[in-house]
Amino acid sequence: MNLTLFIWRQKGPDEKGRLEQYEAKNISAEMSFLEMLDVVNEGLIKNGKEPVAFDHDCREGICGMCSQVINGVPHGPKEKTTVCQLHMRNFKDGDSIYIEPFRARAFPVIKDLIVDRSALDRVIQSGGYISVHTGGVPDANAILLPKENAGTAMDASECIGCGACVAACPNGSAMLFTAAKVTHLAMLPQGKIEAARRVCVMTDAMMNEGFGNCSNHYECQAVCPKGIKVQFIAKLNREFMKAVIHRKGGF
């Protein structure tokens, strides 16, 4: 199939960007969206032009590195699918496709389709873990965990940290991402001890990084490639209320 692409080009964080038009020719339905872009890029290189910079690594939907807005939707049109797992059979011959970077105040553009998502790392660094030292821990089966809780923890911890939820949210909120981590750890006995502190410091970190607030648009859930549910945001809010009620002297 043949496609017309409108791709966001931006030299650097301080430069102005704009959409440029490219043609993608003889694209097979088996190709992934990124392989289609590889073909376009090889063509550009051969013609002495600069290829489009975009982030990617695993190309199997698990590293969370790819990040493109396709026709206005982070990760594109297919539900629960990252860009790298989006295949061209989802498009038709002659389609026009708009490709832009994830946009959010907390994600400055680095170049073309690449944005800086390190704010998400800093939210985790603020306390999104269990503070256990290496060695000297009890036998794994000494901490029992109901199957349902393990299941919910796993549902929440499937988040790949891609940031699509932020990009889709009109407020640029990172609530779904943060809620996923808070829920994952709050479901486990070994995570409960620090739960109150964790939810407070992570919420503060989120605000400090310039992420907006949640006002229930549910756009995050709609684009999340891992099917992380907004129910976890409710869980985050409950954990936060609990923590604030008992909060003494701040964390």
Partner 1 sequence: MILNGKCPAGPLAEKWDRRRNEMKLVSPANKRKYKIIVAGTGLAGASAAATLGELGYNVEAFCYQDSPRRGHSIAAQGGINAAKNYPNDGDSIFRLFYDTIKGGDFRGREANIYRLAVLSNNIIDQCVAQGVPFARDYAGYLENRSFGGVQVSRTFYARGQTGQQLLLGAYGALSRQIKEGTVRLHPRTEMLDLVIIDGEAKGITVRDLVTGKIECYAADAVCLCTGGYANVFHLSTNAMGSNVTAAYRAYKKGAFFANPCFTQIHPTCIPVSGEQQSKLTLMSESLRNDGRVWTPKNKRDRRVPNDIPEAERDYFLERKYPAYGNLAPRDIASRAAKDICDEGRGAGSSGYGVYLDFADAIKRLGENKLRERYGNLFDMYEKITGENAYRQPMRIYPAPHYAMGGLWVDYNLQSNVPGLFVLGEANFSDHGANRLGASALMQGLADGYFIIPYTISDYLAQTAFGKVNEGHPEFRKSREDLETLTKKLLSINGRKTVSEFHRELGRIMWDNVGMERNEESLKKAIALIPGLRTEFWGNVKIPGNGIELNQELEKAGRVADFLEFGELMARDALHRNESCGGHFRTEYQMPDGEARRDDENFCYVAAWEFKGVDKGPELHKEPLVFENVELAVRNYK
Which residues of this protein are in contact with ligand FES, per CB under 6 A?
A: 56-59, 61-66, 82-84
Residue 104 interacts with ligand SF4 (CB under 6 A): yes or no: no
Q: SS3 for 83?
A: helix
Residue 84 interacts with ligand SF4 (CB under 6 A): yes or no: no
Residue 176 interacts with ligand SF4 (CB under 6 A): yes or no: yes
Residues 29-48 that bind partner 1 (CB under 8 A): 30-32, 34-35, 38-39, 42, 44-46, 48
Judged by beta carbon, residue 76 or residue 172, the one nearer ligand FES is 76
- Cα-based angle 111, 91, 10 (whole degrees, multiple of 5): 10
Residue 40 interacts with ligand SF4 (CB under 6 A): yes or no: no
- Which one of ligand FES, ligand SF4, partner 1, none is in contact with 140 (Cβ closer than 5 to 8 A by kind)? partner 1
Q: SS3 for 232?
A: helix
Beta strand spans in the chain (E): 3-9, 18-24, 68-70, 73-74, 96-101, 109-111, 114-115
End-to-end CA distance of the chain: 57
Residue 214 interacts with partner 1 (CB under 8 A): yes or no: no
- Site size for ligand SF4 (CB under 6 A): 14
Largest CA distance in the chain: 64
| Residue of 76, 128, 163, 212 that binds ligand SF4 (CB under 6 A) | 163
Q: Give me 163's structure tokens.
A: 């940031």
Judged by beta carbon, residue 62 or residue 110, the one nearer ligand FES is 62
Binding mask 71-90 for partner 1 (x = CB under 8 A): ---------xx---x-x-x-
Residue 177 interacts with ligand SF4 (CB under 6 A): yes or no: yes
Amino acid at 230: V
Query: Which of 123, 121, 119 has the alpha carbon at shortest distance from 108?
Result: 119
| CB 233, min distance to ligand SF4, A | 10
Q: What are the residues whose beta carbons fall under 8 Å from the beta carbon of 190, sequence distance 6 or more?
A: 130, 132, 143
| Residue of 3, 97, 109, 153 that binds partner 1 (CB under 8 A) | 153
Q: SS3 for 7?
A: strand
| Residue of 113, 119, 160, 175 that binds ligand SF4 (CB under 6 A) | 160
Q: SS3 for 82?
A: coil
Query: How far apart (Å, rounded) are the C-alpha atoms in residues 20 and 86?
Result: 22
| Residue of 5, 64, 172, 175 that binds partner 1 (CB under 8 A) | 64
- Which one of ligand FES, partner 1, ligand SF4, none is in contact with 163 (Cβ closer than 5 to 8 A by kind)? ligand SF4
- Which one of ligand SF4, partner 1, ligand FES, none is in contact with 244 (Cβ closer than 5 to 8 A by kind)? none
Query: How far apart (Å, rounded) are the C-alpha atoms in residues 130 and 117?
Result: 23
Cβ atoms of 11 and 20 closer than 8 Å? no
Q: Which residues bind ligand SF4 (CB under 6 A)?
A: 159-165, 176-177, 180, 224-226, 228
